[in-house]
């Protein structure tokens, strides 16, 4: 599972290289959380800073720092790449 530099990167490696970027995290319950991805682990547990909760296009709530449990994640959209 090691990757030489010319290979495409594994999904979890991509997440690790996207720390401090803005992300949108869609959960299985259809809610979406947008914020800066402070950190993430191999289970996709992640810390969002300056997080906002969206129900579709509508912001529902603001959070400072939130830890999302990875098993609820549907997908993570990386808004800005390095």
CB atoms closer than 10 angstroms to residue 6: 5
Site for a second copy in 55-74 (CB under 8 A): 63-74
Site for a second copy (CB under 8 A): which residue of 34, 45, 52, 54?
A: 45
Binding mask 3-42 for a second copy (x = CB under 8 A): -----xxxxx-xx---xx------xxxx--x----xxxx-
Distance CA 24, CA 67 (A): 14
| 46 part of the interface to a second copy, by CB under 8 A | yes
Which residues are registered as beta bridge partners of 35?
23
Count the residues in the chain: 82
């Amino acid at each position: 599972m090691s990757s030489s530099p010319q290979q495409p990167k594994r999904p979890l490696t991509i997440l690790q290289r996207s720390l401090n970027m803005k992300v949108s995290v869609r959960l299985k319950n259809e809610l979406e959380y947008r914020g800066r991805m402070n950190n993430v682990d191999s289970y996709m547990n992640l810390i969002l800073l300056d997080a906002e909760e969206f129900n579709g296009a509508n912001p529902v709530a603001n959070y400072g720092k939130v830890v999302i449990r990875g098993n609820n994640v549907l997908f993570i959209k990386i808004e800005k790449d390095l």
